[in-house]
Amino acid sequence: MWVYDDARAALRDALRLSRAMTYKAAVADLPLGGGKGVIMATPAGGWPSDRRHAALLDFADTVAALDGRYITAEDVGTSSRDMSVIAQRTRHVAGLSRRRGGSGDPSAFTALGVEAAIQACCERAFGSDSLRGRTLAVIGLGHVGSRVATRCARAGARLLLSDVDQGKRRFAEDLRARWTAPERALESAVDVLVPCALGGFLDDRTVRRLQCRVIAGAANNQLADDRIADLLAARGIVWAPDFVVNAGGLINIAQELDGYDAARARRRVTGIADTLRHIFDDAESMDTTPLTAAMELARKRLVAR
């Protein structure tokens, strides 16, 4: 659920996000295709709770009409409580609370996968997967970013934190992390940039200004277009494809299909590190970017189904 300038922008986003979901499910080797639902919220200030509730029910009716060809779950702007509202109209909803037999908010698993991805990238860039003493800039301290920051702080990383919401400053203080504005965080001289807000921020202009060695974060669709992956590689920056890094939530939710087991879900989510190693090796041997190697892996798996 997000605020868009117009319906065309919302549709474009839904198409881009569903394309990423297809790659994400295929690379993670899940028995799922790709789809994404977008609820276009009203401009700043939000809407009254009864209208929000009605929008969720309308969305639920659309999901119900698809009769299992689309299964919905939480993402930006929604929570497992919202999934309970949707479940009033359709059973094709995942990520319900544990109390209701679901696997709960996927963000913790997304964060676990992001940490595993950061470690695999550090191994590639610096020869060690340890985060002790590494400098990380995390942009976006919502459900996923705050958890990634907490996990990486525990692993000994030194953090620079940032969010458009100044209210998140308190969280940075509690973690004893430095705080800066998002545009400064993007250009900061750190080992790892961890984007956990919205996508599209890596373009010709921003890539020229980057000073990090690694980019690995949860934000969907980080590249303004696929060509940006070549620019990042030319600058010697290890960029981990977002749809590989942020698959933890989807991997976790997919476990609901065979009877949910949290320990199995954790094992599969931390396997994101091995998937990335495989992609980096392929990229090196094919003399291409990690984006092309990851898309090729997805394509092979889709063809094999």
Please check whether residue 232 is in contact with residue 159, taking contact to mean a CB–CB distance below 8 angstroms.
Answer: no
Q: Which of 143, 151, 266, 268 binds ligand NAD (CB under 6 A)?
A: 143
Shortest spacing between CB 236 and ligand NAD, in angstroms: 25
Q: Which of 34, 106, 241, 290 binds ligand NAD (CB under 6 A)?
A: 106
Complex with ligand NAD: residue 14 or 64, whichever CB lies closer? 14
Tell me phi and psi for residue 207, to 5 degrees: -60, -35
Residue 198, interface with ligand NAD (CB under 6 A)? Answer: yes
Complex with ligand NAD: residue 33 or 182, whichever CB lies closer? 182
Complex with ligand NAD: residue 146 or 289, whichever CB lies closer? 146
Complex with ligand NAD: residue 133 or 167, whichever CB lies closer? 167
Cα 220 to chain center, whole Å? Answer: 5
Residue 76, interface with ligand NAD (CB under 6 A)? Answer: yes
Q: For residues 266 and 20, what is the distance between their CA atoms, to the nearest angstrom?
A: 22
**Local structure of residue 268 (DSSP, 8 states):** H
Residues numbered 207 to 246 that lie near ligand NAD (CB under 6 A) are: 218-220, 246
Complex with ligand NAD: residue 107 or 289, whichever CB lies closer? 107
Which one is catalytic: 24, 36, 168, 300?
Answer: 36
Of residues 105, 112, 97, 102, the one with CA closest to residue 260: 102
Please check whether residue 194 is in contact with residue 148, taking contact to mean a CB–CB distance below 8 angstroms.
Answer: yes
Residue indicated by tokens 């309970």: 84
Q: Which of 41, 141, 194, 232 binds ligand NAD (CB under 6 A)?
A: 141
Shortest spacing between CB 234 and ligand NAD, in angstroms: 25
| Exposure letters 179-209 (e unless 16+ CB within 10 A, then b) | bbeeeebbbbebbbbbbbbbbbbbeeebbee
Residue 139, interface with ligand NAD (CB under 6 A)? Answer: yes
Alpha carbon distances (Å) from 148 to 191, 206, 211, 277: 15, 23, 21, 20
Residue 196, interface with ligand NAD (CB under 6 A)? Answer: yes
Please check whether residue 256 is in contact with residue 34, taking contact to mean a CB–CB distance below 8 angstroms.
Answer: no
Complex with ligand NAD: residue 61 or 116, whichever CB lies closer? 116
Residues numbered 3 to 22 that lie near ligand NAD (CB under 6 A) are: none
Is 36 labeled as catalytic in the residue annotation?
yes
Residue 140, interface with ligand NAD (CB under 6 A)? Answer: yes
Residues numbered 156 to 175 that lie near ligand NAD (CB under 6 A) are: 162-165, 168
Please check whether residue 70 is in contact with residue 37, taking contact to mean a CB–CB distance below 8 angstroms.
Answer: yes
Angle at 92 between CA 89 and CA 98, to 5 degrees: 95
Q: Is 295 exposed, middle or buried (0-12, 13-18, 19+ CB in 10 A)?
A: buried
Contact region for ligand NAD (CB under 6 A) — 35-43, 128-136, 195-203, 283-291?
Answer: 195-203
Pattern of binders to ligand NAD over 27-66, x per CB under 6 A? ----------------------------------------
Residue indicated by tokens 């989807």: 250
Contacts with ligand NAD, residue ranges (CB under 6 A): 75-77, 106-107, 110, 139-145, 162-165, 168, 182, 196-199, 218-220, 246, 249
Residues catalogued as catalytic = 36
